[in-house]
Structure 1
Amino acid sequence: MSAAVTDVYAPGTLQEAVDRVLRVPDRHRTFTKDAAFAQETWAIGPALLEALLDHGLPHRGPAERRRFERTDLHNVSTWLNLPSPYFRALARKARALDAAARTGEPHRHELELRADCAEPGHAGECAFVPVPGAADHSEPGSLRETSAGAFAVRARLPSDSRVFDEDRSDLLSLVADWELYVLPDGVIEDEGFARETRLANCLIPTRLLLREAERRGIRARHGAGLLVAPPFGTLHHWVEFALDGAWVPADPVLLTAFSRWGMTDPAHWPYNRSVAGIVWHLLTWPPEVFFPVVRDRGLQAPLHVSVR
């Protein structure tokens, strides 16, 4: 291991990062990404990658042609707080959440939804249509198509940052110690895996909390839409509680992650505080992990969301 790597990371840190990804069984890995992808996308440079390999990072192939599982690289990079575009974007979202709460004013964002053809090579023209929630939950009249497949819209996100009462807090505590994790396809909806490893995406704990809320007589619903903060938005799932005539969003796994990554102060942002201010509700009870925001001739269209 190079001196530069040992100067940066405390003993055991890299082993913790690798041990974490090894909780995922190897049968769920597809080794398709190379060292260039690790560096360019996830800020894992050659020296660090070699150190991770020394600690058992899964891979296939000889040194000059090594291949890695994309989610392993993603999760190692995030665990080590490396300055990837993804990690920097998450930090912006955490800052936006805190800023919305401190000002007490709603956050307004200009978004561009840019969709690609859902089925390249099809006959006829594409027909792009945003989900109804894009108009229903935006500033009235702001949604407009600016070019084929591109839509501009203004989202108004409230600053409600209440700490939930004892009953709801007790419910949220069921998953508060789970770690936000990008799961490979084989376990992307596997609640048993998440319970055993405490690794979960945003969908699995949402479904668990909704089922338990129903059992406890707490009125809740499944919220889905976007995590919103410049420079872009990402698909997300969370739980919402009916309180005082409104639906108030909660996401204990996300808040725990922000705290672990040093993005928020856990004293100010405990797991049982609302995440209003960064979530834009577009759909309720979506059945899919990757739900549609824009459809093309009825099919889910690949989407990029820019935010300012």
Structure 2
Amino acid sequence: MSAPVADVFAPETLRQAVDRILRVPDAHRTFAKDAAFAEEFWAIGPDLLQALLDHGLPHRDQGGSRRFERTDLHNISTYLQLPSPYFSALTRKASAMDAAARNGQPHRYELQLTAECAGRRHQGACAFTPVPGLERHGEPGSLRETSPGAFTVQARLPSDTHVFDADRSELLSLVADWELYVLPDGVIEDEGFSRATRLANCLIPTRLLLREAERRGIRARHGAGLLVAPPFTTLHHWVEFDLDGAWVPADPVLLTAFARWGMTEPAVWPYNRSVAGAVWHLLTWPPEVFFPVVHDHGRQAPLHISAR
């Protein structure tokens, strides 16, 4: 039998979790998920869900059941560090990054990508094509299509312990206190919202840092690709600095989040350290929030990516 909610979470903690998501206006909520989804995907059981409702968790009553916004459940679960598959995967990513840096050896992963049909607007069978970066940045000759829409590739992530200099560190500090947050569609590219709330996805601070880097004369570019570690690998955005001809990735919001969640030691992984051991560059300057990794007849194909 699980412990009572009151024995696990202080009321103030639950209130803070709800107050945080209330920074998002109700207009951006779809209320499409039920209590079963909250428990299955985000480890928010019935007792905890009721306690959150008591603190003002937004919901709607539809068809005799309560409905919730997907991103609210995601962000509350992460804030409370519940053992969801997502939080467990983040823990693995932080651990892998730290291990690679500590032992001084690069990490090598086999990625498995499974694409789905991009839509039935095209005629005939699907024609899946990976972005050139998968082959360009993978281990030579490792990209293979094992079946229609299924690809494997070997990725190598370096062991990088670089801490950025004063100028770049001061730039990165502009967003170092922002909280990593899964934003709903209505504010997914809204820099004003993130500035006001200090809640941000990986894209918004990347764009801000790039614009400010240009203003300061710091050579930087937009890196996009994958945040890699077993078992799940996800799309990610970050900023990269040109250091003597090498592009070195930085992600102060991610490192601050890892430290806040107790996944890394802040003294070892400050916001101004490189994240080269966690990200795999595939694209530069992508225009889309959810950029393509595999196309189907030229359209972005829905994709699942695993790593081992």
TM-score range, shorter-chain basis? over 0.9
**Are residues 1:66 and 2:66 paired?**
yes
| 1:25-40 pair list within 5 angstroms | 25-40=25-40
The amino acid that maps onto 1:27 is A
RMSD: 1.3
CA distance in 2, matches of 1:3, 1:50: 15
The amino acid that maps onto 1:120 is R
The amino acid that maps onto 2:82 is L
Deviation by residue 1:37-66 (Cα, 9 ceiling, x = unmatched): 000000000000000000000000079410
Q: How far did residue 109 of structure 1 move?
A: 0.3
SS in 2 for 1:257: helix
Aligned residues: 307
Deviation by residue 1:169-200 (Cα, 9 ceiling, x = unmatched): 00000000000000000000000000000000
Aligned to 2:182: 182
CA distance in 1, matches of 2:94, 2:3: 33
Q: How far did residue 124 of structure 1 move?
A: 0.4
CA distance in 1, matches of 2:199, 2:128: 35
| 1:77-116 pair list within 5 angstroms | 77-116=77-116
Aligned to 1:217: 217
CA distance in 2, matches of 1:250, 1:280: 12
CA distance in 1, matches of 2:159, 2:204: 26
Deviation by residue 1:62-103 (Cα, 9 ceiling, x = unmatched): 794100000000000000000000000000000011011001
Q: How far did residue 232 of structure 1 move?
A: 1.6
CA distance in 2, matches of 1:125, 1:86: 33
SS in 2 for 1:239: strand
Aligned to 1:265: 265
Aligned to 1:253: 253
- The answer to whether the 8 A contact 2:28-2:184 is kept is yes
Aligned to 2:152: 152
Q: How far did residue 10 of structure 1 move?
A: 2.1
The amino acid that maps onto 1:280 is W
SS in 1 for 2:223: strand
CA distance in 2, matches of 1:152, 1:31: 37
The amino acid that maps onto 2:78 is T
The amino acid that maps onto 1:19 is D
SS in 2 for 1:94: helix
Ranges in structure 2 where 5+ consecutive residues have no aligned partner:
none
| 1:111-260 pair list within 5 angstroms | 111-120=111-120, 122-260=122-260
SS in 2 for 1:61: strand
SS in 1 for 2:41: helix
Q: How far did residue 245 of structure 1 move?
A: 2.0
SS in 2 for 1:174: coil
CA distance in 2, matches of 1:218, 1:197: 27
CA distance in 2, matches of 1:243, 1:3: 51
Aligned to 1:283: 283
SS in 1 for 2:61: coil
CA distance in 1, matches of 2:95, 2:158: 15
CA distance in 2, matches of 1:178, 1:258: 12
Stretches of 4+ aligned residues off by more than 4 angstroms: none
The amino acid that maps onto 2:168 is R
- The answer to whether the 8 A contact 2:221-2:239 is kept is yes
Aligned to 1:16: 16
Ranges in structure 1 where 5+ consecutive residues have no aligned partner:
none
Deviation by residue 1:18-51 (Cα, 9 ceiling, x = unmatched): 0000000000100110000000000000000000
- The answer to whether the 8 A contact 2:128-2:296 is kept is yes
The amino acid that maps onto 1:11 is P
CA distance in 2, matches of 1:161, 1:84: 30
Task: Provide TM-score, normalisation by structure 2.
Answer: 0.98
Q: How far did residue 293 of structure 1 move?
A: 0.2
Q: CA, structure 1 residues 46+142, in 2 after alignment: closer, same or farther (shift >3 Å)?
A: same
The amino acid that maps onto 1:300 is Q
Q: How far did residue 160 of structure 1 move?
A: 1.3
The amino acid that maps onto 1:17 is A
- The answer to whether the 8 A contact 2:122-2:297 is kept is no
